[in-house]
Structure 1
Amino acid sequence: MLADFSTAMRSISNDATEIDVMVTPNAKVNSVGSVDPWRHRLIIKVQGLPLEGKANMAVIALLEGFFKAPVEIIRGHTDRHKTIVVHLGLDKILGLLMENERLNGCAGKG
């Protein structure tokens, strides 16, 4: 079953989208997962430790590579729950996330 990615994001302009994410630092592998159905946040796992901004840098690097667009954290710099801005339109982001889910079968997983 496909995740409802739209519950975790909102368009702020034609070329920028806010996404609520839940970050798991110190993970075994970096990954972009599905949307947590309870928290309505995109699940992100990074290998970076939550020390001296390393996890935040890992989140930005992972998402910039995934979306091929600039990413910035706008809320939650010291929290697992963050809000980020991706400088891409909502439709493009939804397409990339749905393709990732289809290829990796990440529905319901993080």
Structure 2
Amino acid sequence: MLSPATTASRKTGAADRIMLLQTFLRIVESGGMSAAAVALGVTQPTVSRRLRQLEDYFGTPLLERSPPPLCLTEEGQECYRYAATFLPQWEAAFSGKVATPERR
């Protein structure tokens, strides 16, 4: 089970973790760091740095560092499943598309 590394969890705020998960999701869905950078409107080194920060946070590699195609580690697969479920719900909550108690 994927869980935060002790020291990294203290250094990374909740908003930062969401940004790191968004970047990771984009890497996986676009097939690589360069394509993710274009999709996110940032540089490829920024995407690489964010991936490294997320891996430091969990204390484990999430991607195999090998030639294409992109290959997730077991922990990377777990992180992807979580991010693919959580992030759309989180984004919907902040866009006003989720039923809140006031809207029911």
Structures share fold, TM-score greater than 0.5: no
With structure 2 as the length reference, what TM-score do the two structures score? 0.32
Structure number with the bigger relative contact order (C-alpha 8 A, sep ≥ 6) is 1
Structure number having the greater helix percentage: 2
TM-score by length of 1: 0.31
- Relative to its length, the structure with more strand (as a share) is 1
